[in-house]
Amino acid sequence: MTRLVTVLLPVTGMVAVALCGLLVFGLVTVQTGATAVIVGVFAAVVPVSIVTAALLWVDRWEPEPAKYLLLTFLWGACVATLLALLVNDTARSVGDSLLGFEGGSRVATIISAPLVEEFIKAVPIVVVLIRRATEFDGVVDGIVYAGFSAAGFAFTENVYYFADAFNESGFGDGMSDGVLAAFTLRGVLSPFAHPLFSVIIGIGLALTVLKRHYGIGRYILPVAAYFGAVGLHALWNAAAMLGGPETFLNVYFLIMVPLFIGVGLIVVWQRRREQGVVAGALPAMARHGWIARSEIELLSDLAARRTCAGRPGANRAGRRPGPSATTRPRSPSWHSCAAAASRPPTTAGATTTSWRRPSRRARTRCAWPTPGEAGHLGSWRPIRGSYSHRVVWYPRRGRDWNEFGVTRGNERPQGHAVTRPARLAVGVVSAGRVGSVLGAALARAGHAVAAVSAVSDASVRRAERLLPDVPVLPPDEVAARCDLVLLALPDDVLAPMTSGLARAGALRAGQIVVHTSGAHGVDVLGAAAEAGALPLALHPIMTFTGREEDLERLTAAAVGITAGSGDEAAWHVGEALTVEMGAEPVRVPEAARPLYHAALAHGANHLATIVADSVDLLRDAGIDRPDRVVAPLLSASLDNSLRHEGRALTGPVARGDSGTVAAHLRVLAEQAPDVRPTYAALARRTVARARIAGLLGEDAARELETLLERGPETGPDTTDPDDGRDLQ
């Protein structure tokens, strides 16, 4: 079924769109000839290029997915034009039979065409609104999707009109008949005619979403917008068909041009609103460490982004150089900035919006077992469905039956916690930095933390702060009264604790037992599985302070999930819990767990050691505030490494500067002998990486390897301090 939805249906849809396009162009070719069609295509490319370029300019602050825009354009160019052609030809035939000669043309042009064409062009906008609601969150989105659908329709329609004009009068003189006259009318005076009609519908749908209309109200505004677009389209066609040149020009300058200017003003206003949302959210993102403070100015201005992207590190047009010497700053999504700008302070028990979209694998709705029900693993049922930015509770099958559901838009009341029945009783063993924060995150998602275990005074205080009014009990009592047991314990304690809880009868069938260790999978919870519980490993890939800010940082983190091999339902339960906490689920097989944890420890723990050594060496060199001095360099280096991997290597080793490396080894041997072995080991690894990346030749690599193996010869420093190269 998954392959059917993800592969077969899209392929079938694309084939259908292609067939519609071939049929349309085949019909046009039969009526006008191949040469005329070629001329029409070349002439139609000009106005459609202008329109699409304008729409992409409108869509710069919150770019819509390119695949959705392309599909919308193809719908307008192929499917919509074919359906409109069939319906309008039918209306013309019926009109001729009822009203006589020319009556059918008037019916088709003034009545049928506006009604049918505007309806068909609006179909992809409604589909995006229903199926991908998270991509439709403002007036600009409605304008862009409507404009692309209409641009595709106008392109194919222009091909027909230009080809027909060429077939009848050739190129003409630009004033009467022929391609030049048709191009002047449709390509110069009115390239935005069809997009302007459809934009009215797009704005109406967008306002419906923004105003959160319910019941009959959700249909009034879209229907009114549709008939507004139909009326405007009918007026335009009637002025061109029934009125003379004076009537047409009056409609053009007194109605169409002012309306076009009005839409342009709306676009400018909404773009500034989106810029304000981004600019307002960036300082908070910088405080949380998701972007560098030096990137705030760059990311809040499109011109600054172009400057940084066009010439990395350069001070162009008087602007400040970017924080990275090789890459542009990472631009946060508009959805993330909008969530950051509108999010009120939250407490345990409140629901929040995720700042990042869950992966496709996480788009799962999962029905939980009835709290307290002594069921079996069949109690967990994965239910595929749509998703959005937050998790809500829906009652089903009685008072205690709950499921993992979704909402669209910004429907959560602002400024206070959302009160609703809890779905799972959660027990936390124990209230360390990780356990207390994850317990608070689950409470914020709507679950009820029923009990917590805490031994030290610090753990007790942490539980009182993050899990207020939750009783502190021994571990066996915590597990006995809960549906979800969260074991946030050291690695070596997990197996004995699980076995002890099982022997005490605290674990039962139907429970979910979760541990947060990165080193272990679910095998360490074997005693819980034997008792009939569902074992899961959920490892948050972040560092914890045990304070409230960890709840916000969790929404930008990933969680390594491990479940039983072949137990797809268990994987879905782990992913659902992760998405509820606002994090991104990542599947880690049981066999890969040790390597996964070693990779994280090597990258994070050893990085902290290297940074501490670097700060200490700068302090020994007499540098004031060494942490502030080195922070931009380290941030740029980490960012470049994540973006470009081996190609991001810089510095003397990557350049093959053996003299500089020798000087480093000498000074470290004299002033920091405990750091020298680490420097040499990492330099050898850097040589290997630089060789693989093609940055270092074989001769230079062998010279550096020999130097690092034997150490520098004694003697004066022969490096030139003024060679003009960076020492990163």
Grade residue 689 by pLDDT with cuts at 50, 70 and 90.
confident
pLDDT in tens, 125-168: 888 888 776 667 678 888 999 999 999 999 999 998 888 888 88
Confidence of residue 4 (pLDDT cuts 50, 70, 90): low
**Per-residue model confidence (pLDDT) at position 377:** 32
Specify the pLDDT at position 410. Answer: 32
- Under 8 Å CB-to-CB from 34, ≥6 apart: which residues? none
pLDDT band with cut points at 50, 70 and 90 for residue 59: confident
Tell me the average pLDDT across 20-42.
86
Residue 348, pLDDT score: 33
Lowest mean pLDDT among 22-26, 117-121, 175-179: 175-179
Give mean pLDDT, residues 294-305: 68
The predicted pLDDT at position 75 comes to 92
Average pLDDT on 644-649 reads: 77
* Long-range contacts from 605-614, C-beta under 8 angstroms, 24+ separation: 609/678, 610/678, 610/682, 613/672, 613/675, 613/678
**pLDDT value, residue 351:** 32
Judge contact between 437 and 462, C-beta under 8 A.
Answer: no
Q: Residue 377's Cα: distance from chain center in Å?
A: 33
3-state per-residue secondary structure call for 475-493: HHHHHHCCCEEEECCCHHH
- pLDDT per residue as tens digits for the range 500-526: 999 999 999 889 999 999 999 999 999
Greater pLDDT, 653 or 374: 653
pLDDT value at residue 17: 83
Mean pLDDT for 168-184 is: 76
C-alpha to C-alpha distance for 272 and 266, rounded to whole angstroms: 10
Residue 622 contacts by C-beta under 8 Å, 6 or more apart in sequence?
none
Q: What is the pLDDT of residue 222?
A: 87
Burial bucket for residue 492 (CB in 10 Å: 0-12, 13-18, 19+): exposed
DSSP 468: T
Contact of 300 with 279, CB cutoff 8 Å: yes
Furthest-apart CA atoms within the chain: distance in Å: 107
* Secondary structure, 3-state, 344-369: CCCCCCCCCCCCCCCCHHHCEEEECC
pLDDT over 80 (residue 728): no
Q: What is the mean pLDDT of residues 354-373?
A: 36
- What pLDDT was estimated at residue 300? 72
| pLDDT higher at 490 or 422 | 490
Overall average pLDDT of the 38-56 stretch: 91
Residue 318, pLDDT > 50, answer: no
Report the pLDDT value the prediction gives residue 214, as an integer from 0 to 100.
Answer: 52
Residue 327 has pLDDT above 50, yes or no: no
How confident is the model at residue 129, as a pLDDT?
Answer: 82
Lowest average pLDDT, out of 91-105, 254-268, 349-363, 499-513, goes to 349-363
Is residue 364 predicted with pLDDT exceeding 80? Answer: no
- Output 12 or 177, whichever has higher pLDDT: 12
Flag whether pLDDT at 186 surpasses 70: yes
pLDDT at 482: 93
pLDDT number for residue 114: 92
Using pLDDT thresholds of 50, 70 and 90, give the confidence band for residue 406.
very low
- Per-residue pLDDT, averaged over 528-533, amounts to 92
| Whether the bond into 430 is cis, omega within 30 of 0 | yes
- Position 281 scores a pLDDT of 74
pLDDT of 343 over the 80 cut: no
pLDDT at residue 409 in the model: 32
CB 225 within 8 A of CB 204: yes
Query: pTM surpassing 0.95?
Result: no
Query: Residue 442 has what pLDDT?
Result: 93
Secondary-structure breakdown of the chain: helix, strand, coil percentages, each rounded to the nearest 5: 60, 5, 30
Between 727 and 684, the higher pLDDT residue = 684
pLDDT digits (tens, 9 = 90+) for 445-484: 889 999 999 988 899 999 999 999 999 999 999 999 999 9
pLDDT at 368: 38
Q: 369-373, 610-614, 627-631: which range is least confident on average?
A: 369-373
Q: State mean pLDDT over 656-679.
A: 90
| Cα torsion 287, 288, 291, 292: sign | positive
For the chain, give the mean pLDDT. 77
- Amino acid 73: pLDDT: 92
pLDDT of residue 174: 54
Is pLDDT of 334 > 60? no
Q: How many residues does the chain have?
A: 728
Q: What angle do CA 220, 224, 228 make, to 5 degrees?
A: 175
pLDDT at residue number 417? 34
Residue 715 scores a pLDDT above 70: no
pLDDT tens track for 375-384: 333 333 333 3
H helix and E strand count, the chain: 30, 11
Q: What is the pLDDT of residues 249-292, one digit of tens each?
A: 888 889 989 999 998 898 888 888 877 777 777 777 666 556 66
pLDDT of residue 123: 92
Cβ atoms of 187 and 47 closer than 8 Å: yes
- Percent residues over pLDDT 70 in the chain: 76
pLDDT (0 to 100) of residue 211: 64
Can you give the pLDDT at residue 411? 34
